[in-house]
Amino acid sequence: MKLLKELMKNPMSCTGLLFVVALALIAIFAKELSPYDPQAIDTYHILEAPSQSHLLGTDALGRDVLSRLIYGTRISLLVGIVAVGIATAIGTVLGAIAGFYGGVVDMVIMRLVDVMLCFPTIFLIMAVIAFLEPSIWNIMAVIGLTSWMGVARLVRAEFLSLRSRDFVLAARVIGASDWRILFGHILPNAIAPVIVAATLGVGSAILTESALSFLGIGVQPPTPSWGNMLTAGKDNIEIAWWLSVFPGLAILITVLAYNLLGEGLREVLDPRTKRS
């Protein structure tokens, strides 16, 4: 409750939070909010401009753009949250082990991080997807498995600064095991920056999924996603601007909302970034 009150004091983070909540509600109640079936083909209303019957127009198959945009919210949020969940779990565990034990363990894990960072993320994901069937589950797994390095470095830095604190030494004196100290004592004190990184990562994951779908190796039609809606729109951009503008705005607003929320959480949870 205190965190929410602090977030509401900042107009930018408050705006981001409201948009994130609105997007979550749209995704949950997509069936009730959609005026049409997102996959229903209507040859009598092909490439119809925005009107009272179709508020955001129709596509080349006569499908309602608003309905597909609403259902696409489900795909984007699902990919963003699950992919970031995978990346955060892997990065937290590896970063915690590296920062706590140090020495050879730290060196091995950090060299693995360096190797992963050598490859541009989008090209690494494309290379992996090329060998897999392009599906939403594979997309989530691949984005998560190639995005954990930043979290690992962040958690490692936190553990390096916390492992010599008095509460850790006290836990050692009473005979607590390494794993109990790791995840029961140190991690709760290092979780704030992880939450911030995860929130910012959702926007990045959504952007990556949209890019992959735009390139045709992400979520496959007829399942609506903002990326493949953009792909369909580029073929008719000169005569049907709404096919590209509205999905593009949806991606922009969603990524911006998560970034604003992430920055707000950073200010609230990290005293060093609070404004004087």
Mean pLDDT, residues 28-39: 92
Helices (H), the chain: 2-9, 11-28, 30-33, 65-101, 103-118, 121-129, 136-145, 149-162, 166-173, 178-180, 187-214, 226-234, 242-269
Helix (H, G, I), strand (E, B) or coil at 58: strand
Task: Give the Cβ contact number of residue 255 at 10 Å.
Answer: 20
Among 161, 163, 157, 166, residue whose Cα is nearest residue 182: 163
Of 52 and 217, more confident: 52
Mean pLDDT, residues 13-28: 91
* Residues 142-179 pLDDT 10s: 889 888 999 999 999 999 888 888 888 898 888 888 88
Q: Considering the chain, what percentage of its residues have pLDDT values greater than 70?
A: 96
Burial 147-156 (b: 16+ CB within 10 A, else e): bbbbbbbbbb
Helix (H, G, I), strand (E, B) or coil at 64: strand
* Residues 173-199 pLDDT 10s: 888 888 888 888 888 888 888 888 899
In contact, 88 and 149? CB cutoff 8 Å: no
Mean pLDDT, residues 243-269: 88
Q: What is d(CA 173, CA 20) in angstroms, rounded to the nearest whole number? A: 45
Predicted local confidence at residue 1, as pLDDT: 64
Predicted local confidence at residue 4, as pLDDT: 73
CATH superfamily, region 2-50+73-273? MetI-like (1.10.3720.10)
Predicted local confidence at residue 276, as pLDDT: 42
Among 235, 208, 213, 217, residue whose Cα is nearest residue 226: 213
Q: What is d(CA 95, CA 166) in angstroms, rounded to the nearest whole number? A: 21
- What is the greatest pairwise CA distance in the chain? 77
Of 3 and 106, more confident: 106
Is a pLDDT exceeding 80 seen at residue 7?
A: no
In contact, 91 and 150? CB cutoff 8 Å: yes
Torsion of CA 158, 121, 202, 71, to 10 degrees: -160
Predicted local confidence at residue 171, as pLDDT: 86
Q: What is d(CA 108, CA 262) in angstroms, rounded to the nearest whole number? A: 30
In contact, 226 and 210? CB cutoff 8 Å: yes
Predicted local confidence at residue 149, as pLDDT: 92
Q: Which residue has the tokens 């693995």?
A: 112
Is residue 123 exposed (0-12), middle (13-18) or buried (19+ Cβ within 10 Å)? exposed
Mean pLDDT, residues 49-59: 92
Task: Please tell me the number of Cα atoms within 13 Å of 102 on its side-chain side.
Answer: 8
Q: What's the mean pLDDT when you consider all of the chain?
A: 87
Is a pLDDT exceeding 80 seen at residue 20?
A: yes
Predicted local confidence at residue 275, as pLDDT: 46
Is a pLDDT exceeding 70 seen at residue 274?
A: no
Is residue 192 exposed (0-12), middle (13-18) or buried (19+ Cβ within 10 Å)? middle
Which of 36-45, 76-85, 128-137, 233-242 shows the lowest mean pLDDT across its residues? Answer: 128-137
Whether the upstream peptide bond of residue 134 has omega within 30° of 0, thus cis, is no
Phi, psi of 221, deg, nearest 5? -60, 155
Predicted local confidence at residue 254, as pLDDT: 92
Q: What is d(CA 65, CA 54) in angstroms, rounded to the nearest whole number? A: 8
Predicted local confidence at residue 36, as pLDDT: 92
Predicted local confidence at residue 121, as pLDDT: 76
